[in-house]
Amino acid sequence: QGQLLAKSWSSLFEGQSGAALRGPIYSFNGRNVLTDPLWPHRLAWHGSTPRGGHARRWDCQGWHSSGVAEGMATALGEGRLLAGHRHNCSTP
C-alpha cells in the first residue's frame, strides 16, 4: 500500500528492540492483521533476540503440532519488532 514501516532494513534492528512499527500491516491476502478478527493474537513470529540475532532455542524450528516448543514472537501492538516474548509454537 506504499506506507513506510521503517526508514531502512537496518533500522528495523537498531536501538531498543528495533524500530517502532508505523501504519497497518497486511497479510499476503490483503487483510490488515492489526484489525482483522482472523488474527486474534496479532503476533509477528521472528525467532530473534532483541538485537536481531538468532534465538536458537526459541525459533520453533523443527516444531510439530504435538510438541510444546516455544518461539520468540512480538505482539504487534507493542510497536517494536524485536521486543519479543516466548510463545507456544502452537499459537496461531
* CATH number, residue 1: 3.10.100.10
85 pLDDT more than 80? yes
- 29-84 tens-digit pLDDT: 999 888 899 888 888 878 887 777 788 888 888 777 777 888 888 887 766 777 77
Is the full-model pTM beyond 0.85?
no
Report DSSP state, residue 48. B
Domain range spanning residue 55?
A: 1-91
pLDDT of residue 61: 82
Report DSSP state, residue 40. S
User: Distance between CA 44 and CA 84 in Å, rounded?
Assistant: 9
Report DSSP state, residue 58. G
User: Distance between CA 2 and CA 18 in Å, rounded?
Assistant: 21
Q: Count structural domains, the chain.
A: 1
For 23, left (φ over 0), alpha (ψ -120 to 50), or beta? left
State the residue for C-alpha cell 497486511.
26
